[in-house]
Every structure is written in C-alpha cells, then in structure tokens.
Amino acid sequence: MREAEIIAQLAKIFAIPDSEGKSSRVLVGIGDDGAVIAPSQHSWVITTDMAVEGVHFQQGWSSAYEIGRKITCANIADVYAMGATPHHLVVAVSLTGKESLSWISELATGINDEVRSVGAYVVGGDVVRGEQITIAITAVGEVETPILRSGARAGDQIVISGLPGWSSAGLYLLTNRIAVGNLKNKHTAERALAQFRAPDVRYSDAIALQTAHSLCDISDGLLTQAQQLADASEASFEIDSQKIAAHPEFAELKALADEVGADIWDWVLAGGEDHVFLATGVDLSGFAIGKVGKKESGLPGVELLGISKAPKGFTHFS
C-alpha cells in the first residue's frame, strides 16, 4: 500500500465532526504540517509514552484494536494523574510494511475509541517505516492546579483506586501458556487477560481524587510508584499488606494465583499497567492501604508490613 492511503485512512478515523470543531478548540487538524489549537487560560500538561513490539505488546497476544487502546490509556491516565483533563493527542507509528490496511485501521480505531471516551481528540502524528512496530503517543491536557508526586504529607492516608495486579496476572497466563478454558477460576482468568490486553481504566476515579496531596497512576508496580512518591515527597510510606488483602477483589485474584502456582503478591505489588491510581491525602475516596510519615534518616522510603521479601518489579534497564 502507499503512504498516502494510510494517511487518508487515519485522517478519516481521527476526523473531528463539524459539530465538535469549536468545542475541541482545534483550528487546524490532520492534513497540514502541524495542528493549531486555540489558547486556553489554564496550564498545559504534556506527557509521552512509547510502546515497542516485543517489549510492551505482541500481536500474537492482542488484537490491533486492543493494542491501540492499551497504549492510549497509558497516556490518558498520566494526564489524569496530574489532576488534569486530557484534550489533544498526537500519534507517531513506525510500521514494518507487512501490516494490512485493515490492521492499521483497527489499531487507529482502538486509539480513537479510547481517546474519544474521555472527550479528547487525535490532532496529528507521523507514520514511518521501521524494523518493528513502535507507537509513540503524546497527550496534552489542561490543569488549574497540578497534583504532584512531591505533595505527600506526614499524616496522609495512602489509598488505591482499585486493586492492581490484574494485568500482571494476564501476562503470567500468557507467558506460561496456561489453558484458561481448563481452569476452575476461568472467569477470573478471562478478566485478567482482558485487563492485560486493554485495561479498563476508571478515569473517573482520578477525577474523584482531585483533593489528593500526591497522585500517580500505577504503571510500573505499586511498590515502585509508592517509592517514587515517597522519594519525591521526602516522606516515609507505611503500606500494610493486610489492608491490601482486605480489598474486595483480592480473594478472587488470589484464588487464580493459587490455582496457577503464582505468588499473588508478585502480581499486586510488582505488576504494572493496570493504571489504577495511587494517592495520598485526607478523607480521600478509594481503598486505604497505609499512611505517610516523616522520613527518618537511614530508613527506607517505603516500609511494607506483613511481607518479609518484597517482589522486584519490571525495569527496562537492570
């Protein structure tokens, strides 16, 4: 296929309806050398995520539509984790040249459906040829008062908006080639697979946490993100494993872990890409799992109660 065909198809998928043109503030969209956006009185939040085939996704595990949604929600969650509202995104993709136009369209539709679910718009991007599929998305949002990782205060509650570990469970099932249909906990396993392939992120949970002192989304694991908040805030985080185990979904996920021979704490504490939200503050919505204290010299930023050996999460470079 020709590049012009791909661009024409993408422009059709990402087109902004005339009825939404003014409200979107997009003065010039796809088709020119750059998008033009009308100014706003609020500050901008800009974030970028990149996904590489074989590292972040595999075509044998996920449909093009699921891959599109999965990559997009990572960006949108980051915008909401700043206390901001996403408005515009640009998407850059490298393709090998072996993909069909229908596969590319499915990928773009997944991206667009996730974007439009929060009232945002794709306004441009780029398509090139490369040795493997790479997807880079930049999201732009607006915020009046950003919520930073450095805002945690002694005395704050630590809360999670949902139980992390579902996506990690799905990855475990796929990498270990477990026949889900033969499991006693089949429905739980199917949910885990769905969450890995394309997480259903409850963005409304982040909106409900607008009074948080610090906030982030759990993309790299609960303990990793808690350590980042603790370090940025120069505070100590005390996380109680018994409180996490009291979450309404914990027993269901643990039953699956026990059946397939996995450690539930590897999934919950070290698994990422669920994009549930981790916050500290007072009288917050969510599920309380610990508290923030003053950082004492020589003590770790995060203390995990009830577990002797914490799992190691995923890192790109180790």
Specify the DSSP class assigned to residue 57: B
- Measure the CA–CA gap between 227 and 229, rounded to whole angstroms: 5
Instruction: Return all residues near 245 (Cβ < 8 A) that are at least 6 apart.
Output: 254
The SS3 call for residue 251 is helix
Contact 121, 88 (CB under 8 A): yes
Name the pTM for this structure: 0.92
Write down the pLDDT at residue 299.
Answer: 63
Write down the pLDDT at residue 297.
Answer: 57
* Beta-bridge partners for 140: 46, 88
* Phi–psi pair at 7, nearest 5 degrees: -65, -40
- Measure the CA–CA gap between 208 and 278, rounded to whole angstroms: 12
- Measure the CA–CA gap between 174 and 272, rounded to whole angstroms: 15
- Measure the CA–CA gap between 225 and 142, rounded to whole angstroms: 23
Instruction: Return all residues near 181 (Cβ < 8 A) that are at least 6 apart.
Output: none
Selection from 145, 154, 109 nearest residue 291 by Cα: 154
Tokens coding 82: 């700043």
CA 50 to chain centre: 12
Contact 47, 143 (CB under 8 A): no
Domains of the chain: 3-143 (3.30.1330.10), 149-305 (3.90.650.10)
Write down the pLDDT at residue 315.
Answer: 47
Instruction: Please give the full DSSP string across 276-301, using - where no structure is assigned.
Output: -EEEEESS-SSEEEEEEEEPPTTS-S
Tens digits of pLDDT across the chain (318 residues)? 678 888 889 999 999 887 776 678 898 888 888 999 999 899 999 999 999 999 899 999 999 999 999 999 999 999 999 999 999 999 999 999 999 999 999 999 999 999 999 999 999 999 999 999 999 999 999 999 999 999 999 999 999 999 999 999 999 999 999 999 999 999 999 999 999 999 999 999 999 999 999 999 999 999 999 999 999 999 999 999 999 999 999 999 999 999 999 999 999 999 989 999 999 999 999 999 999 998 775 566 899 999 877 776 554 434
The SS3 call for residue 104 is helix
